[in-house]
Structure 1
Amino acid sequence: MHSPVIVWLRRDLRLSDQPAIAEAAGKGPVIPVYVLDDETARHRAMGGASRWWLHHSLTSLDAALRGKGSRLILRRGRCEEILPALVEEIGASEIHALHHYEPWWRNAEKAVGKRIGLCLHHGNYLAPPGSVTTGSGAPYKIYTPFWRALNERMPPPESLPCPDAITAPETWPQSDDLASWNLLPTRPDWAGGLRDFWVPGETAAQTRLDALVAKAHRYKEDRDLPSLDATSFLSPHLHFGEISPARIWHAVSDAGGSVGTFLGEVGWRDYAQNVILQFPDYGSRSARDPFDSLPWRSGPEAEADLRAWQQGRTGYPIVDAGMRQLWHTGWMHNRVRMIAASFLVKHLLIDWRRGEQWFWDTLVDADYASNAVNWQWTAGSGVDSNMFVRIMAPLSQSEKFDAAAYIRDWVPELADLPDAEIHDPAPMTRPRSYPPRLIDHRAARERALAAWEQARR
């Protein structure tokens, strides 16, 4: 029998359209390995919601592998130490993996590659990050020309099929017990809403994609309406690599109507990876210099406002609905994410990094690139971003995008109010159980603009 081949898995937890698995399966016995490496990621180790998802995604992948005659090996520690030791233990000939672009994974790939044979494949994006460049060979910083250039290279290659079988080694190496990793919350168990809303894994990702195909032609018309289930709900499945963007593209590209808007959102994911490839510290450093001088609020009052925002107690119904949806399900409607993020940065004048950190811990789709790029876009601090002086008005946004039913779902204190009042409850009709506004919109706007002028000087 040939020497076994290791497949190093990270955010690519699928069997279909998985180039590393496809390549390894043609070489002989395969040992799929997932290493929980919090040490390399350090302060970017997965947050609580992502760890919940990971537990169930690994369970699903192991079951799928066993159906192919294989299984998943779990190890914990630094990848650059665990993988070489495993190679020596089992006499593996090489390791196959998909490229990852978060700065800690790029460092890990270099460290592992220096010690053992590491074969890296592309497959988590529509095109390899860094490959879409201007005529002069420079990387794009602005989304629109990036998307135009990427779109010219579409469609992506056809998806690779799932292997019929995966050859097992003569003996399996020892594996950690998944339960010993303590990825699931217990004291307290706050994941009830996540269990009710999500089913992680490759099969569930395909189910979500099948549902999207029927509605993708109306994506542009319906995606901004939080009261409708019109978005794809594919973001956590994409983040954990339970489905490939190429598979999604081929499934929906012929849907007609406004499906191009949805494909542009898949392209935004590629764009975000290209940004962090150029600016690895994008999740912690503003791209525009004036933001280094912006007088963000701090101290007890600001911290109290931050907690109110986190708990959905700002007094702005659309913001509170979004933040409560996030806490309950680990996800938030995209239009509401923009409103809630803008509120923190511009109404409360709290540093965008505090919001990014909260989303990192509470989102099941907490992707380093997308999270950082979206927060910097909303704050106005990014290389391609909204202007800081463009301040979203949450009350009018709520009415414009018909969020009444959404608010009733997540802010039950207001459920009895009619549509005409629920977006902006008057003092006389506002229930006592619902908090007053932390700050009026006009006062918040004036404070934010004054802070911006100070930063510019």
Structure 2
Amino acid sequence: MSTALVWFRRDLRCHDHAALHHALRSAERVHCAFVFDTDILDALPTRCDRRVDFIHASLQELDGALDALSRAAGGQGSGLRVRHGPATDCIVQLAVALGVDRVWANRDYEPAAIARDRAVAQQLAAHGIAWADCKDQVVFEQNEVLTQAGTPFGVFTPYRKAWLKQLDGSQLRPYPIERHAARLAAKPAGEALPPLAALGFAPSNLASLPLPPGTRGGRQLLADFAARIDSYRAARDYPARKGVSYLSVHLRFGTVSVRELAALAQQHGGDGAATWLSELVWRDFYQMILWHHPQVVERAFKPTYDHIAWDDAPELFAAWCGAVTGYPLVDAALRQLHQTGYMHNRLRMVVASFLTKDLGIDWRLGERHFAQHLNDYDLAANNGGWQWAASTGCDAQPWFRIFNPTTQSQKFDPEGRFIRRYLPELARMPDQFIHAPASASAAVLAQAGVRLGHDYPKPIVDHARARQRTLMRFGFAAAEARMATAGTSQH
């Protein structure tokens, strides 16, 4: 009897699942596994992490769903075999113990994951076990969308046009699971998902957030968004409005299928759906960039900007991390991140621009801060977004275009509703001054009960002066790059 093992990673669902589909079609018995990888968990800065909580809750649902699938198809029941340890060791040991012929997984595009999977494949081969991975977390991957010259795109707009032109519907067909679900192998009696405490983690505040985990949670959020998708384009930039899908965490951990979401957008039509589909294309774009250019993890996509002399300003960075910059929209956004693990996309751009363009601090520091706190942290998207804001990346914001945090606040939170939610100390400030309390008179501040420097900080930098410094910083970097290129050509 041919036997396979499906290794679940960032694909915590049992519908429209590429690896599970192929394993069930090709093997007579299919085991399912998940590993709480200590190589990842041990590097987390806290033992109370919303992402671990989300994964744990989603696995509980997935375990039950696999069992139900098996029984509905006439099988004996099934479920997840959960391990805790280095993933490479755990998967190889489990595959050998189960006597499987092949291990299936859905493909990952991060450099560390690629190296891990290569090591797993090599160790499995030593035991006579095959390795197979599938495309699942993106619609198009790697070399599937290229320029007419056969090279990777470096600019988003032409990539999006090529992506949409190439989309013929076949890429969005779901992978059926139910037909062969009776082949799902039963797990041993008594084997269960270990509690968080056994993994060395404590519960987070996930249960108090509007972030239901698992496939059921993803479907709940998708149904809610589908009813208001037509307003997405108009509403998505306003953090105080319910304008976005809130599905990013579910996409990150695969509790929803990207094919399902793209198909919904394509079938629905209209400006809102088309704009949302473009956001899904951005996901593919950044995964493609990371796969072709893994050096972006530590270096600028545009080598010219590796010459930038960022400021060593630990006090300013601490103020940014602590949400005490004196710019209310920036501070409110960072408080949202710290309290909920979420930050609105428009605010991610504003906050990143403020760190790199107003404070002159290396984008890599901000990128790592987001990596610690974002529920939906994804290396490709996070790196791409930060390099976009810092003007060091592909298709980036031009370095001479610098967000003004005050005017961004006035435009996208005009009544200060978002600011008041996360900065209650400014709740009584009039609308016209809540975006820049330092511009208010002493009488206005007194009436609002705000003492600058005590209840709320004064601005840590002057935006106009910071803007000039940024223009000089990037100008010098470009000049140094030209000189370095000229020197190289002479030799």
Q: Normalised by the size of structure 1, how large is the TM-score?
A: 0.92
Q: Classify the secondary structure of the residue corresponding to 1:152.
A: helix
Question: Whose radius of gyration is greater, 1 or 2?
Answer: 2
Cα offset, 1:57, TM superposition: 2.2
Partner of 1:15: 14
Partner of 1:160: 175
In the TM superposition, 1:134-153 aligns within 5 A as: 134-153=147-166
Partner of 2:484: none
Cα offset, 1:70, TM superposition: 1.5
2:389 aligned to which of 378, 387, 405: 378
Partner of 2:136: 123
Cα offset, 1:168, TM superposition: 4.4
Contact conserved, 2:172 with 2:259, CA < 8 A, in 1?
A: yes
Cα offset, 1:254, TM superposition: 3.2
Distance 1:200 1:176, change over 3 A: closer
Q: Classify the secondary structure of the residue corresponding to 2:6.
A: strand
Cα offset, 1:170, TM superposition: 5.9
Partner of 1:227: 240
Cα offset, 1:402, TM superposition: 2.9
Q: Classify the secondary structure of the residue corresponding to 1:281.
A: helix
In the TM superposition, 1:248-397 aligns within 5 A as: 248-258=261-271, 259-298=273-312, 302-397=313-408
Is 2:5 aligned against 1:6? yes
Partner of 1:89: 97
Contact conserved, 1:14 with 1:243, CA < 8 A, in 2?
A: yes
Q: Distance in 1 between matches of 2:343 and 2:44?
A: 21
Further displaced range: 228-237 or 15-24? 15-24
Contact conserved, 1:197 with 1:329, CA < 8 A, in 2?
A: no
Partner of 1:172: 188
Partner of 2:485: none
Cα offset, 1:263, TM superposition: 0.4
Partner of 1:60: 61
Q: Distance in 2 between matches of 1:41 and 1:321?
A: 29
Partner of 1:211: 224
Is 2:408 aligned against 1:408? no
Percent identity of paired positions between Structure 1 and Structure 2: 33
Contact conserved, 1:130 with 1:277, CA < 8 A, in 2?
A: no
Cα offset, 1:46, TM superposition: 11
Contact conserved, 1:41 with 1:104, CA < 8 A, in 2?
A: no
Letter paired with 2:194? D
Cα offset, 1:311, TM superposition: 2.2
Q: Classify the secondary structure of the residue corresponding to 1:437.
A: coil
Distance 1:45 1:248, change over 3 A: farther
Q: Classify the secondary structure of the residue corresponding to 1:6.
A: strand
Q: Distance in 2 between matches of 1:272 and 1:44?
A: 24
Letter paired with 2:89? E
Letter paired with 2:274? G
Number of positions where the alignment pairs a residue of Structure 1 with one of Structure 2: 449
Further displaced range: 194-203 or 135-144? 194-203
Contact conserved, 2:80 with 2:187, CA < 8 A, in 1?
A: no
Contact conserved, 2:44 with 2:372, CA < 8 A, in 1?
A: no
Distance 1:412 1:46, change over 3 A: closer
Distance 1:452 1:400, change over 3 A: same
Cα offset, 1:49, TM superposition: 3.9
1:444 aligned to which of 463, 466, 470: 466
Partner of 1:28: 28
Q: Distance in 2 between matches of 1:290 and 1:98?
A: 35
Q: Classify the secondary structure of the residue corresponding to 2:15.
A: coil
Q: Distance in 1 between matches of 2:296 and 2:46?
A: 17
Contact conserved, 1:3 with 1:93, CA < 8 A, in 2?
A: yes
Contact conserved, 1:8 with 1:96, CA < 8 A, in 2?
A: yes
Distance 1:281 1:54, change over 3 A: farther
Q: Which has the higher helix share?
A: 2
Contact conserved, 1:75 with 1:175, CA < 8 A, in 2?
A: no
Contact conserved, 1:3 with 1:91, CA < 8 A, in 2?
A: no
Partner of 1:196: 209
Letter paired with 1:37? D
Q: Classify the secondary structure of the residue corresponding to 1:111.
A: helix
Contact conserved, 2:196 with 2:202, CA < 8 A, in 1?
A: no
Q: Distance in 2 between matches of 1:273 and 1:352?
A: 19
Q: Distance in 1 between matches of 2:387 and 2:303?
A: 13
Cα offset, 1:143, TM superposition: 0.9
Q: Classify the secondary structure of the residue corresponding to 1:36.
A: strand
Distance 1:307 1:60, change over 3 A: farther
Q: Distance in 2 between matches of 1:57 and 1:183?
A: 18
Distance 1:126 1:196, change over 3 A: same
Q: Distance in 1 between matches of 2:375 and 2:12?
A: 15
Q: Normalised by the size of structure 2, how large is the TM-score?
A: 0.86
Cα offset, 1:140, TM superposition: 1.2
Further displaced range: 363-372 or 13-22? 13-22
Q: Distance in 2 between matches of 1:162 and 1:364?
A: 28
Provide, for residues 163-206 of structure 1, a one-character-per-residue CA deviation record: whole Å limited to 9, x for no partner.
274544366396672425546446xxxx3266323111111111
Gaps of 5+ in 2: 70-76, 480-491
CA RMSD, Structure 1 to Structure 2 (Å): 2.3
Q: Distance in 2 between matches of 1:141 and 1:183?
A: 42
